[in-house]
């Protein structure tokens, strides 16, 4: 689960990681008031979307008066921001963060992530802050330092020092720098994060260290033990169909193609997506209704596929095991009563109660194309 920069900065503050003074605004008037409260002569207005690269995309702007802050906020709120990370469709901006403008002297990169290959957390530091760490890793890997963490030991002082020395910051900041790293790791571990990133951490002209940007991602599988964090979820950032699916515990991921699929079991879903690709088409989604699916879940899943405007054909591929074929068939028939099916539907059913399932489908007046094997299904998808 991703959260916004302003929310991540509130968590940073709880962990004594210094951030610029600021607050979030939902309209221009509120933005002006925040600027007046902060005081000073320079402010930064930042679009709050779940994507980086805002600086280059026009989502981070500097203002010299509270009126200018209001003007920028007026333009930003409601706009669709396109950055390298949003994809070409962009993301709608609902809020902006208004902060004190900071005189930046140097920018660094700090991060904590999960190294899946080494199966442990990794802390990352670099002298090159402000730019994408992926680009830097590709172009100048020697400018990145990493320390792999033994979760049993936590972050020992020597590793924190390696990181701080490695990022080449002035030695007068060693103590503050190691302090920030130990807090960063405490936050990462205690909140079950998959990513905590400070890009950039800056040294200001008046010799302060500040986290100018903040990014946190939580492990979805650990959210059950952080119920309070669920409140930070911004459902506007999610695909509406994926959101609806998750509300009904349907495992659905939207994709670029135009052949909708409904399958039981993640492995069979992968195989089915391969099959569609091999037939020269592209899957519109991943949908695993799972073993314990009820008729309602199948109905909901089918409804969701039908709501996707890109879908021009559907393949239902079920191997009835725990999910019986008759349950699946009933779900499809129920969904068809609610939503008009305007696209061809190919069905391949095998396994438990397959005869009952086929009968339910045959007795309905649905216009289905029955496939008798995986290979046959592939042929029939080709014909769509
Ligand atoms: P991102 O592009 O989405 O990662 O957004 P950031 O929060 O990292 O902002 C992009 C860049 O804007 C930073 O790397 C800084 O160079 C610059 N920036 C942001 N806030 C300030 C500020 O208060 N003062 C100055 N001088 N630069 C800032
Ligand atoms: Mn950044």
> Residue ranges per domain, the chain?
1-19+103-235, 21-101, 238-382
Token output for 220 = 């979805």
Mean pLDDT along residues 307-320: 91
**Ligand 1 touching residue 301 (CB < 6 A):** no
Please give the C-alpha separations between residue 203 and each of 20, 56, 142, 166, 338, in angstroms, as whole numbers: 12, 21, 22, 16, 60
Average pLDDT over residues 73-78: 96
Binding site membership of 200 for ligand 1 (Cβ less than 6 Å): yes
Ligand 2 centre from 229 Cα, in Å?
A: 22
Strand partners of residue 288: 251, 263
**What is the dotted CATH code of the domain comprising 1-19+103-235?**
3.30.470.20
The closest of 101, 153, 79, 94 to 123, measured between CA atoms, is 153
What pLDDT sits at residue 214? 97
Q: How far is the CA of 232 from the centre of ligand 2 (A)?
A: 20
Kindly indicate the confidence band of residue 188, based on its pLDDT and cuts at 50, 70 and 90: very high
pLDDT over threshold 90, residue 381: no
Residue 224 annotated among the catalytic residues of the structure: no
What pTM value is reported for the model?
A: 0.82
Q: Is the CB of 8 under 6 A from ligand 1?
A: no
Q: In what order do the strands lie in the sheet with 60-63?
A: 22-25, 96-100, 43-47, 60-63
Among residues 197, 237, 252, 303, the one annotated as catalytic is 197
Lowest mean pLDDT: which of 179-183, 260-264, 292-296? 292-296
Residue 54, ligand 1, Cβ within 6 A? yes
- The confidence band for 320, taking pLDDT boundaries of 50, 70 and 90, is confident
- CA distances, 39 to each of 27, 60, 97, 379 (Å): 19, 19, 15, 68
Sequence-distant (≥ 6) Cβ neighbours of residue 128 within 8 angstroms: 107, 108, 109, 136, 140, 143
The pLDDT-based confidence of 265 (bands split at 50, 70, 90) is: confident
Q: Report the atom number in ligand 1 closest to the C-alpha of 44.
A: 23
* Torsion sign over Cα 132, 134, 138, 141: positive
Tokens of 17: 């990681």
Cβ of 130 less than 6 Å from ligand 1: yes
Determine the average pLDDT of the residues in 69-94: 93
Mean pLDDT of the chain, nearest integer: 93
Q: Could you read off the pLDDT of 214-239 as tens digits, one per residue? A: 999 999 999 999 999 999 999 888 88
List the one residue out of 244, 243, 267, 272 whose CA is nearest residue 257. Answer: 272
The CATH topology of domain 21-101 is Dna Ligase; domain 1 (3.30.1490)
- Ligand 2 midpoint to CA 227 (Å): 27
Name the CATH superfamily housing domain 238-382.
Succinyl-CoA synthetase domains (3.40.50.261)
Residue ranges with CB less than 5 Å from ion ligand 2: 199, 213
Per-residue pLDDT tens digits for 101-114: 999 999 999 999 99
More confident position, 134 or 108: 108
Mean pLDDT across 8-36:
98
């Amino acid at each position: 689960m991703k959260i916004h920069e302003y929310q991540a900065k509130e968590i940073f503050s709880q962990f004594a990681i210094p951030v610029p003074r600021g607050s979030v605004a939902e309209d221009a008037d509120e933005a002006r008031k925040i600027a007046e409260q902060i005081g000073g002569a320079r402010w930064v207005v930042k679009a709050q979307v779940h994507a980086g690269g805002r600086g280059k995309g026009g989502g981070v702007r500097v203002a010299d008066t509270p009126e200018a802050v209001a003007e920028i906020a007026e333009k930003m709120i409601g706009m669709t921001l396109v950055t390298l990370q949003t994809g070409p469709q962009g993301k709608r901006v609902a809020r902006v963060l208004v902060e004190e403008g900071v005189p930046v002297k140097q920018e660094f990169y700090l991060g904590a992530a999960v190294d899946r290959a080494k199966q442990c957390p990794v802390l990352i530091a670099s002298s090159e802050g402000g730019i994408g760490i992926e680009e830097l890793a590709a172009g100048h890997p020697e400018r990145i330092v990493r320390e792999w963490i033994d979760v049993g030991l936590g972050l020992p002082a020597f590793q924190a020092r390696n990181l701080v020395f490695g990022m080449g910051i002035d030695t007068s900041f060693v103590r503050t720098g190691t302090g920030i790293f130990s807090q960063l790791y405490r936050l990462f571990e205690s909140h079950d994060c998959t990513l905590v990133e400070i890009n950039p951490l800056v040294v200001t002209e008046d010799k302060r260290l500040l986290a100018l940007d903040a990014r946190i991602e939580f492990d979805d599988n650990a959210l059950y033990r952080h119920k309070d964090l669920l409140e930070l979820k911004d459902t506007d950032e999610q695909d509406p169909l994926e959101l609806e699916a998750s509300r009904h515990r349907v495992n659905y991921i939207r994709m670029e193609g135009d052949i909708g699929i409904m399958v039981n079991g993640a492995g069979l879903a992968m195989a089915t997506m391969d099959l569609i690709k091999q037939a020269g088409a592209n899957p519109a989604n991943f949908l695993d209704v799972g073993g314990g699916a009820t008729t309602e879940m199948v109905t909901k899943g089918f409804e969701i596929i039908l709501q996707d405007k890109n879908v021009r054909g559907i393949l239902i591929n079920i191997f009835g095991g725990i999910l019986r074929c008759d349950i699946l068939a009933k779900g499809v028939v129920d969904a068809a009563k609610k939503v008009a099916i305007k696209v061809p539907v190919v069905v391949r059913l095998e396994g438990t109660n397959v005869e009952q399932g086929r009968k339910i489908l045959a007795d309905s007046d649905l216009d289905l194309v029955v496939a008798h094997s995986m290979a046959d299904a592939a042929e029939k998808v080709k014909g769509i």
